[in-house]
Amino acid sequence: MIVILKKNPDEKQLKNLMGWLESMNISVHPTEGKTHTILGLVGDTSAVDIDLLRALDIVADVKRVQEPYKNANRKFHEDDTVIPVGQTQLGGGVFSVIAGPCSIESEEQICAVAQAVKASGATMLRGGAFKPRTSPYAFQGLRGHGLELLLKAKRMTGLPVVTEIMDLSQLELFDEVDVIQVGARNMQNFELLKELGHTGKPILIKRGLANTLQELLMSAEYVMAGGNHQVILCERGIRTFETATRNTLDLSAVPMLKKLTHLPVIVDPSHATGISWMVKPLAMAATACGADGLMIEVHNDPKSALCDGAQSLTPEAFDDVMQSVNAILPHAFKAPKEV
């Protein structure tokens, strides 16, 4: 980090600033120029509040040289993180396909979908019990009962399960859940992220509707700073001016995230497009550009789904997507360690 001082800085304030930085184990290297003095800060500056520095009377500007995330940073952890989940894993060369309905609706529904997606090669089962809906009048999910049904499907198929948590009060119900999902709308629920950092469970964080990759990585950093390093990132489309699709899938996020972080990166083409026939081309594209996996919504009867039917695949359509994805996998882009 580089701090550019204003002309003729007050000496006492400068001494205080240097003392404060050194108290954080940061060594300060001043260089006097013709007009300005700059301070080169060496050490772990991730805990330095850049806005606070900028607001000081004697400071003209501050530039970060190093990213503000340390745990998630590929620079400090060259090898891909591999997260074991049940008999399978996320990252490390295993392509994970997480499939299932948007919402768990009944035992018959979740069990039928679980069996079908397993037969087509899905490695994990998804299903929402606590649903973040835009309207308070829309189906809110079966909540605790939904989780029980999801766990039945897990026992029946042996597939590990992924489901969303919306609030800390629900955490006690997640004991047998394999991967806890933090939805796009909660990506910056920092209290939730902090608490999930104290669990021993893999945490799948979906990119917020209007969040940068750096913000997504900072959310991962929240979980990791608490000691839980099992974090998976999910690109699920962002808000743009385009209205033809539900969101705009930012596929450039995949190779870029793979460069910036060692964490597994997956893509959700269902929420990205909102349209079932578009799931296949975008699942194929996501596979080709180097994603570690996919999350796809599948329903046994999409027309009568209580949530997101328009983007849900039938089991047959999902099987077709799996075949196309498997054909692409051997040719998928592998990001070089140093791009």
> How is residue 324 written in tokens?
């196309």
* 102 near ligand PEP, rule: CB under 6 A: yes
Tell me the three state secondary structure of residue 59: strand
179-198 residues near ligand PEP, rule: CB under 6 A:
183-185
Q: Cα torsion for 182, 187, 190, 195, to the nearest 10°?
A: 10
Closest separation between CB of residue 110 and Mn ion, Å? 14
First to last CA, the chain: 23
**Binding test (CB under 6 A) with ligand PEP, winner from 271, 279, 291, 306:** 271
Helices (H), 28-132: 50-54, 107-119
Nearer to ligand PEP, 41 or 101 (CB): 101
Nearer to Mn ion, 120 or 312 (CB): 312
Nearer to ligand PEP, 35 or 134 (CB): 134
* 67 near Mn ion, rule: CB under 5 A: no
* 262 near ligand PEP, rule: CB under 6 A: no
206 binds, among Mn ion, ligand PEP, none (CB under 5 to 8 A by kind): ligand PEP
Q: Is the Cβ–Cβ distance between 122 and 88 less than 8 Å?
A: no
x-marked contacts with ligand PEP along 145-174 as a string, rule CB under 6 A = -------------------x----------
> How is residue 247 written in tokens?
């969101």
- CB nearest ligand PEP: which residue? 183
**Binding test (CB under 5 A) with Mn ion, winner from 53, 141, 308, 321:** 308
201 binds, among Mn ion, ligand PEP, none (CB under 5 to 8 A by kind): none
* 280 near ligand PEP, rule: CB under 6 A: no
Cβ-proximal residues to 312 (8 Å cutoff; 6+ apart), any chain: 101, 102, 270, 276, 297, 298, 299, 302, 305
Looking at the DSSP bridge assignments, the partners of residue 61 are 4
| DSSP H or E run through 29 | strand 27-32
Q: Which residues bind Mn ion (CB under 5 A)?
A: 102, 308
